[in-house]
Amino acid sequence: MSATALEQRYSARNYQPLSVELTRGEGVHLWDTDGRRYTDMMSAYSAVSFGHGHPALVAALTAQAARLAVTSRAFYTDRLGPFLERLCAVTRMDRALPMNTGAEAVETAVKACRKWAYRVKGVPADRAEIIVCAGNFAGRTTTIVGFSSEAQYRDGFGPFAPGFRQVPFGNADALERAIGPGTAAFIVEPVQGEAGIIVPPPGYLAACAAICRRHDVLLVLDEVQTGLGRTGRLLAGDHDGVRPDGLTLGKALGGGLLPVSAFLARSDVMDVFAPGDHGSTFGGNPLAAAVGHAALDVLVRERLSENAAAMGERLAAGLRAIDCSAISAIRGQGLLIGVEFDPSTVSARNVCERLMAAGILSNDTHDTVVRFAPPLTISAAQVDEALVAIRRTFEALPRRRTEPLAA
């Protein structure tokens, strides 16, 4: 049996992959088992922001794996401290708590915000509330899907934890109206990825930050997908000049090689944790710390935030120049771009299948939006090459019906 057939036979059916079997990656390209090359326009939801097999990151991984990989946080190691120092310096945050996946970082943020509310703000026990936005996506754990507005993510997985309130994304006035005496924090994605690359109005995050300061509420930016250069700034909150009270990072932090995440916060928020309050067997392991440190170095040294801004403009301009009536919207920041299609004309899944046939790999969200989020290392020539295939694919799509339907 082929590897694909074995996966279909033995894996839980929680994914529906496109019909391609990948075997190798280098830079912005992937190859299938038949030797065909593709341009990666997804980057594993930003986890491969530095491209496949970046030499500096592979070197850091292999050198550290040969020395020491995992010990647990029961002991100090020579890798974690320097990594956390570098991470806090790059993000301008005070303290960091290392974890593995983005969902774990968000769960850590939830725990920190609640305990801060009780120990510092004086909220009565078990009355803390966290405000989130409709359309949010922070992961798949039961707490996180409990505050999702997506019915499928919740269906069959309750009962869910109380203590969350939803407000519309992009509406600062709605946030202020929702704040009450027990409000501990507002956790928000600067750009909603899974919802369809939804960019809020300019000034939204700055307005939210001012509201949170006024009401003694923690502002936590969930930058697991948008952070570390993806939107053309080191952090997406930088577009609004916002320094949050808490920050979640993941995906790109592992250099496309292994899961590395962190919750970062100002000191008084992080100080609510005492030994035994929280932890992770693998969080902060020497291998993860070495790769995470190297990833931050690559990000800064290769000026990848700046490249994402320039290449994002080039890619967006090229997409907007395509004559395709099936497109209903193009939106994004930096190298995080969504192209929305009229579902009565074509499904985004079908568009992804057509793109795959043209040598472009991406995926859809909610069957209406195709994501374009290549590695931040992509060059102008590679953007232009991809646009040729994308244009050819889009111009061959069915055209949107504009005339009245026949009676």
* Distance between CA atoms of residues 244 and 216, nearest Å: 13
Render 185-240 in DSSP notation, one character per residue.
EEEE-SSBTTTTSBPPPTTHHHHHHHHHHHTT-EEEEE-TTTTTTTTSSSSGGGGG
Helix (H) or strand (E) holding 77: none
Residue 264 DSSP code: E
Residue 70 DSSP code: -
pLDDT beyond 90 at 404: no
Residue 130 contacts residue 292 (beta carbons within 8 Å): no
Residue 321, exposed/middle/buried by CB under 10 A (0-12, 13-18, 19+)? exposed
Fold that domain 3-53+303-395 belongs to in CATH: Aspartate Aminotransferase, domain 1 (3.90.1150)
* Distance between CA atoms of residues 308 and 379, nearest Å: 10
Q: Is 236 left (phi over 0), alpha (psi -120 to 50) or beta?
A: alpha
What pLDDT does residue 400 have? 76
**pTM (2 decimals)?**
0.95
* Distance between CA atoms of residues 202 and 329, nearest Å: 18
pLDDT beyond 70 at 403: no
**pLDDT, mean over the chain:** 96
Render 151-165 in DSSP notation, one character per residue.
HHHHTT-----S-EE
Q: Among the options 50, 251, 263, 394, which is catalytic?
A: 251
Tell me if residue 157 is catalytic: no
Architecture of the domain made up of 55-301: 3-Layer(aba) Sandwich (3.40)
Q: Among the options 50, 137, 169, 186, which is catalytic?
A: 137
* Distance between CA atoms of residues 241 and 206, nearest Å: 7
Six-digit token string for 141: 């754990």
| Three-state secondary-structure class, residue 378 | coil
The per-residue pLDDT for range 42-89, each reduced to its tens digit, is 999 999 999 999 999 999 999 999 999 999 999 999 999 999 999 999
Six-digit token string for 129: 């509330």
What's the Cα-to-Cα distance from 62 to each of 69, 300, 353, 363, rounded to whole Å? 10, 22, 36, 31
pLDDT beyond 50 at 407: no
Q: Model confidence at 402, in pLDDT bands (50, 70, 90)? A: low
* Distance between CA atoms of residues 285 and 136, nearest Å: 29
What pLDDT does residue 193 have? 95
Tell me if residue 251 is catalytic: yes
Tell me if residue 137 is catalytic: yes
Q: Among the options 40, 50, 186, 222, which is catalytic?
A: 222
> Any bridge partners for residue 186, and if so which?
131, 219
Average pLDDT, stretch 238-254?
Answer: 98
The per-residue pLDDT for range 1-27, each reduced to its tens digit, is 899 999 999 999 999 999 999 999 999
What are the residue ranges of helices labelled H in 271-406? Answer: 286-301, 304-320, 348-357, 380-395
User: Domain coordinates of the chain in residue numbers?
Assistant: 3-53+303-395, 55-301
The per-residue pLDDT for range 277-316, each reduced to its tens digit, is 999 999 999 999 999 999 999 999 999 999 999 999 999 9
The per-residue pLDDT for range 122-176, each reduced to its tens digit, is 999 999 999 999 999 999 999 999 999 999 999 999 999 999 999 999 999 999 9
How far is the first Cα of the chain from the last one, in angstroms, to the nearest whole number? 52
The per-residue pLDDT for range 179-237, each reduced to its tens digit, is 999 999 999 999 999 999 999 999 999 999 999 999 999 999 999 999 999 999 999 99
Average pLDDT, stretch 29-49?
Answer: 98
**Cα dihedral across residues 364, 369, 370, 376: positive or negative:** negative
Query: Quick one: what percent of the chain has pLDDT higher than 90?
Result: 96
142: nearest Cα among 127, 130, 156, 126: 156
